[in-house]
Structure 1
Amino acid sequence: MVGAGSHVVVVGGTKGLGYEVARACVARGARVTLTGRDLATAQARAKELGDLAGGAVCELTDWNSIRELFAGMDTVDHIVLTALDRDFNTIADFRPDDCARTTLMKTVGYATAVHEALPKFTADASVVMFSGLSMWRPVPGSTTISMANAGIIGLVNSLAVEVPPVRVNAITPGVVAGTAAVDDADDVRADWFEAMRQRTPAKRLPTADDIVASTLFLLECPGVNGANLVVDAGMHLA
């Protein structure tokens, strides 16, 4: 369970949905380590959440950084992997180096984090990895992230059978209302996001609170393993 006495690691927890997950875990009384690429930023964001939160640095394309993160921990009850580079890349103007970095971070980096955490996991430990609906419904410029999100599902399937009793699941958010990706979108992407909202049966996008609640469910429910929970307000149905 996520609560008093448990330790939750949120990789990519300094902003966006990762930060909201960290906030929710602290509110339940859990001890939270939230990570970012910059130590000062991670520590400042952790300070905002109070004494139960601590900030640490983790660069998911630096294997030593991941190793050092978990080497300094006693036990780990839950890991939430939300870190993401928003590489707006198209095949017409393809940038292989940018694509390689983002894909490496979100596939090999996620896998390495679980590898380094293995000796620290408790008997009821769980992992949640963030994928994204762009693997099925590409966004303009999502060539890289569509590939990376699809890779997360394969990784989850593999780990679920490799690391029992640790449970490993994915969450696939749709377009999430109120996030920077939506609020700060250019006109082309804003039109696409509005079209996606119109596709949902109730004409509403999921919110950050919806994603947080779904993440906590995956962390806590012992009967769910190797699952991909799609939280898109039914967008995939239309």
Structure 2
Amino acid sequence: MPAQRSGGTSADLRESGEPKPLEDQHVVIVGGTQGLGLEIARAAAARGQRVTVAGRDAEKAEKAAADIGIDAVAGICDLTDWSSLERFFDGVDTIDHLILAALDRDQNDIKDFRPDDAAKTSLMKNVGYAASVHYALPKLDPGGSVLMFSGLSMWRPMPGSTTISMANAGVVGLANSLAVQIAPVRVNVITPGVVMGTLAVDEADPVRAEQYERLRQRTPGKRLPQTADIVSAAFALTDNPGINASNLVVDAAMHLS
């Protein structure tokens, strides 16, 4: 269970509706122990926000928190285990920004479809995201936000993306519903394209690496988004009170090709 942290309550929100100063904000990142979630956690801590990172593996979570430093806290939860989510969110204080970055790279083709694997991925990314918001809701500051990760495969399917294409599309639908249900907390989605600097791309097998290179060549600027592009886009969504129920696509215009 994550350690309790001192912090503000909803009463700390300025009467004008302006966000709290960064140093008073608490960012909770589920899926923050690796990949893009960890990069966002590092950047949030560097700009003065309090950070809690959570994942399924306790050792990995502790390592991530130690790597982030600046009093980052580690938590344990599993997006397919509702009791673990309830315990985790019971143990944190006020949440200004909840970021759901966990993913499951199920490689599933309809010709050789594996329903059990698909169900696990959909359960994690769709029901698990919704359950996280449910258990976090009592802790969410009214001036804060929820940010969920989708993916470009919902529009540009790739070989083996059957399940994740469905799951990514479901995240956008979930966000639209939540933006109405949990207002004034804002709910947004970020949809990255193929992101350089991630293990999935940098260590891709030759077939996928060739496909990614073709995608890069077809982008207007002949570049794919970098990890830093996703991080700055995430903060644009959490920081701006005027952005709500939006799906920000960060793909260097890959979707135009």
Scaled to the shorter chain, the TM-score interval is over 0.9
Report percent identity of matched pairs: 61
Is there any run of 5+ residues in structure 2 with no aligned partner, and where? Answer: 1-18
1:4 aligned counterpart, secondary structure: helix
* TM-score (normalised: structure 1): 0.98
Match runs of 1:208-219 below 5 Å:
208-219=227-238
Of 35, 40, 63 in structure 2, the residue corresponding to residue 21 of structure 1 is: 40
Partner of 1:141: 160
Shift of 1:21: 0.3
Structure 1: which 5+ runs fail to align?
none
Deviations 1:148-197 (A, max 9, x none): 00000000110011110100000000000121111111122112111111
Within-5 A mapping of 1:110-149: 110-149=129-168
Q: Does 1:101 align with 2:120?
A: yes
What does 1:29-178 align with in structure 2 at a 5 Å threshold? 29-178=48-197
Q: What's the offset of the Cα at 1:49? A: 1.1
Shift of 1:52: 2.5
* Contact residue 13 and residue 83 of structure 1 kept, 8 A: yes
Q: Tell me if structure 2 keeps the 8 A contact 1:139–1:192.
A: no
Distance 2:33 2:66 in 1: 11
Shift of 1:210: 0.2
Is the contact between residue 42 and residue 56 of structure 1 (CA under 8 Å) also seen in structure 2? yes
Q: Do the aligned partners of 1:60 and 1:66 also contact (CA within 8 Å) in 2?
A: yes
Query: Which stretches of structure 1, 4 residues or longer, exceed 4 Å deviation after superposition?
Result: none
2:6 corresponds to: none
Query: Aligned partner of 2:99: which letter?
Result: V
Is the CA contact (8 Å cut-off) linking 1:140 and 1:189 kept in structure 2? no
**Mapped contact 1:32–1:54 kept (Cα < 8 A):** yes
Alignment partner of 1:210: what SS? helix
Contact 1:34 1:55 (C-alpha < 8 Å) held by counterparts:
yes
Mapped to 2, the partners of 1:169 and 1:52 lie a distance apart of 27
Matched, 1:8 2:27: yes
Mapped to 2, the partners of 1:139 and 1:35 lie a distance apart of 29
Select the structure of larger CA radius of gyration: 2
TM-score (norm 2): 0.91
Q: Distance in 2 between matches of 1:135 and 1:123?
A: 30
Residues 178-197 of structure 1 aligned to structure 2 (within 5 Å)? 178-197=197-216
CA contact (8 A) 2:30 2:99 kept: yes
C-alpha distance in 1 between matches for 2:70 and 2:210:
42
